[in-house]
Amino acid sequence: MTFVSLQALRGLAALGVVLFHLLPFEAKYLAGPTIVPAGFSAGRAGVDLFFVLSGFLAVWTTLGPAGAGAAQRFLLRRVTRIYPTYWFYCIPLLLAWIAAPAGVPGEHSPDVVASLLLIPNAASPLLLVAWTLEFEIYFYLAFALLIWARLARRERILALAAWGGIVVLAHAVLRPTRAQAILDALLSPLVFEFLAGCAAAWLCAAAPRRALTVVAGIVGCGILAIGLLWSETLFALPWLRVAVFGIGAALLLIGCFGEDMAIRRALPGVIVRIGDASYSLYLSHLFTIGAIGHGLARLPSVRLLATPVGHAVILCLTVVAALLVAEASYRWIERPLLRLSRHLIKPPALPHAVSPA
């Protein structure tokens, strides 16, 4: 079953990341005083929402049989969902790095193999937003292990709780740094956003009363609103960040689950379309923003572009362009690559399995 409200949340999360990246775009490419509000920096919280959604869907799409076959199916579907489109967008960056290694941004030269395989590394990945995909792969590998172990629901919950406890204790003892990239990822506080999504899915699977889901959704919206208002502080405090955004997003998902039909009727179709193309939007928007920026840099100086009105027009057109490129990518790159990869690498069929979203 596909939840339209959750798909819309994907779109809002991706759009938030786009808005966040407009801050450096305006400062770098547009002359004159900036007009993008500092509040756009809260858009990076879209990443937190993505992690909670990943945990939710990991549970919701594996409520059926467990075992080695189910684990293999889960992993193959996730891998074919992530890698082909990601590699498509890595190709031009890889070619640029081969042509001029010194021209690739970042503190260190990228580890190409680690970038392509989404293995955490101290250097910046080829595609800067790929660090979040490294976490996604980590989450999926850990969850596939639970499926493979044939744990019952209660045992899975206990195992995930133990995972969270180990992360807290090991992080306190080892205190990993960015230079210890793999250990830093394994013990990241962001694990708890995935766990929050898992918890939300299990609560929804227990068929809570509608009144409870409504209350959960309202409380979640309130927590997220407070988090967005204080986002600068939260992003400087990782554990508090995951507590606020993880709990808030999980409660919001429970509310969306309970009111999905009502939300489905009220949602503008464009929000759902953005949700459908959210992965393409996430991967492609930096290319679109960069291309527009380089185009502006080559234009002769135009006084109108340095005015607030000029800035507003350029920024709106940039967002629209990012959305149009993402839609084209979704139709002609992402979906064909997904169909091709799943045709070539067919996951094992499982009886009575829940259809993945």
Q: What integer pLDDT is reported at residue 357 of this predicted model?
A: 41
Per-residue pLDDT reduced to its tens digit, 119-139: 999 888 999 999 999 999 999
- Distance CA(156)–CA(130), nearest Å, equals 28
- Distance CA(234)–CA(8), nearest Å, equals 25
Per-residue pLDDT reduced to its tens digit, 211-268: 999 999 999 999 999 999 999 999 999 999 999 999 999 999 999 999 998 888 888 8
Ramachandran region, residue 32 (left: φ > 0; alpha: ψ -120 to 50; beta: rest):
left
Better pLDDT: 103 or 284: 284
Residue 298, both tokens: 């080559």
Over 70: is that where the pLDDT of 209 sits? yes
Per-residue pLDDT reduced to its tens digit, 83-113: 999 999 999 999 988 887 655 554 457 889 9
- Distance CA(349)–CA(311), nearest Å, equals 53
Cα 118 to Cα 22, 71, 87: the distances in Å are 25, 20, 10
Over 90: is that where the pLDDT of 305 sits? no
- Distance CA(23)–CA(27), nearest Å, equals 6
Residue 157, both tokens: 């919950």
Residue 155, both tokens: 């045992």
Q: What integer pLDDT is reported at residue 346 of this predicted model?
A: 78
Q: What integer pLDDT is reported at residue 185 of this predicted model?
A: 95
- Average of pLDDT values for 135-161? 93
Over 50: is that where the pLDDT of 324 sits? yes
Nearest to 188 by CA among 131, 252, 254: 131
Better pLDDT: 280 or 258: 280
Domain boundaries, the chain: 4-344
